[in-house]
Amino acid sequence: MQLTDTHSHLYLDAFEDDLNSVLNRSVDAGVNRILLPAIDWISLGQMERLHHKKIEFHKMMGIHPCEVESSRIDEEDRLMEVCGSDEFVGVGETGLDYYWSTDFIEQQKESLHMHCRVAKAVNKPIVLHNREATDDLLSIIEQEQDGSLTGVWHCFTGTQEEGERALDLGLHLGIGGVSTFKNAGVGDVVATMPLNRLILETDAPYLSPAPKRGKRNEPSFMKFTAEKLADLKAVSIEEIAKQTTANALDLFKLA
């Protein structure tokens, strides 16, 4: 069984002391492909230290909404150049976050529009962070969708209606640790979503799945999310691994 972690921040300092052990546990758990979304320009240099002979790493570049404070006139050209490289498989993570701060909402919206333009221009999927901003986020995707925009609602926590709207807009849904939380209600919604539009992720070091909730998340923990999804969809974990990996390979053009 082989799993693909489509969203992991293994380059952050949270893994500085035991990165090799984390990567070895990832391999032991069957996670041999890991996608790395940036949160800012500094992320690019941090990603360079990630190497393992049994793991494929794939990079993405974007500016996290919590890092957006003001518009930079040169940002779009720079993103276009980096994301257009064969070395990068996606644009992100970007999106909207109204939880931590509402001081830069308009700048966040401008940044999301910019990332959408870049994603369409380089023909790569966009990776969307969303926290307490679902209506605005999906409205912007609707405005930008011209038939060529693809992407994923990372860390999907929406209602069934919101999930269906995202699917109608051409997005995949990123399923992570929150789907395993007993009282979150996310699992019930995920159960109704089509398996061929779901991809697995950790968001490591954040949002560890049950029974590791409260601990630092890592790719090896994704097996618990896969087990939960198998239970929700009433299929084997092998089928979950096979289908979600196929979905990821197709979305990020890795096949």
Q: Give the domain range for residue 85.
A: 3-251
Q: What tens digit of pLDDT does each residue of 80-126 get?
A: 999 999 999 999 999 999 998 888 999 999 999 999 999 999 999 99
DSSP state of 208: P
How far CA 144 is from CA of 38, 57, 137, 252, in Å, comes to 22, 29, 11, 19
The tokens describing 38, both together, are: 């940036």
For the chain, the domain total comes to 1
The reported pTM is: 0.97
The tokens describing 25, both together, are: 């546990």
CB atoms within 10 A of CB 50: 17
pLDDT at 189: 97
Q: At 72, is the pLDDT very low, low, confident or very high (cuts 50, 70, 90)? A: low
pLDDT at 73: 58
CATH number of the domain encompassing residue 31: 3.20.20.140
